[in-house]
Copies of this chain bind each other. A is one copy, B any other.
């Protein structure tokens, strides 16, 4: 049975969301589609390439409308969308942060933050620093929240989810740092 690339990708996202990152292998993906792993490699040359496509699909599915006018709110929209997109899929934070680190995908949020800041007249060097700082904050926060929620749901740990730190308060602290630099 032949499959389109989009079918393979959709199945990969379902496999990830249902069974987690450890289950996302070319072998298991092939088995789920009733094909040999080689048929998967026809569409995705490597596991890294597959992961990159999965990460970008997670971001596409989490896309939200933009409504903010001012750069601080525009940055908040990008960061909030990224966070929610990752949290919406099992191990989504791990996958998106890994693909970003590989330099193979998940580049949309940082590119959009760079544009928001450049349009607001933020100097280039500060744009580079602030966009990376923001994305690292979002990744770190989402990784904690997702890891904690998944482990509690599985009964693996007993941590109180009430103790998860507020996302917006930390985000505003970073934005205030950027604002202070521009003052």
Using known A-B contacts A137-B133, A137-B140, determine if residue A101 contacts B165 with beta carbons closer than 8 Å. no
Using known A-B contacts A140-B137, A165-B128, determine if residue A147 contacts B181 with beta carbons closer than 8 Å. no
Contact A48 B157, beta carbon cutoff 8 Å: yes
- Kindly report which residue of chain B lies nearest to residue A47, judged by CB atoms: B156
Chain A, 157-172, contact with B by CB distance < 8 Å: what is the 0/1 string?
A: 1011001011001101
Using known A-B contacts A102-B148, A143-B97, determine if residue A136 contacts B170 with beta carbons closer than 8 Å. yes
Stoichiometry, copies per complex: 2
Give A102 Cβ to nearest chain B Cβ, in Å: 4
Interface residues in A1-34 by Cβ distance below 8 A to B read 22
Contact A129 B163, beta carbon cutoff 8 Å: no
Q: Which residues of B contact A177 (CB under 8 A)?
A: 172-178, 180
Main secondary structure on A side of the interface with B: helix
A→B interface (CB under 8 Å): 22, 46, 48, 97-98, 100-104, 128-130, 132-133, 135-141, 143-145, 147-148, 151, 156-157, 159-160, 163, 165-166, 169-170, 172-181
A sample of 24 cross-chain residue pairs with beta-carbon separation below 8 angstroms, ordered by A number, consists of A22-B22, A48-B157, A97-B143, A98-B147, A100-B144, A101-B143, A103-B157, A103-B163, A128-B165, A129-B165, A129-B173, A132-B170, A133-B137, A133-B165, A133-B173, A136-B140, A136-B170, A137-B140, A139-B139, A172-B177, A175-B177, A176-B176, A176-B181, A180-B180
In the A-B complex, the 4 residue pairs with the closest CB atoms: A136-B140, A177-B177, A103-B159, A101-B147
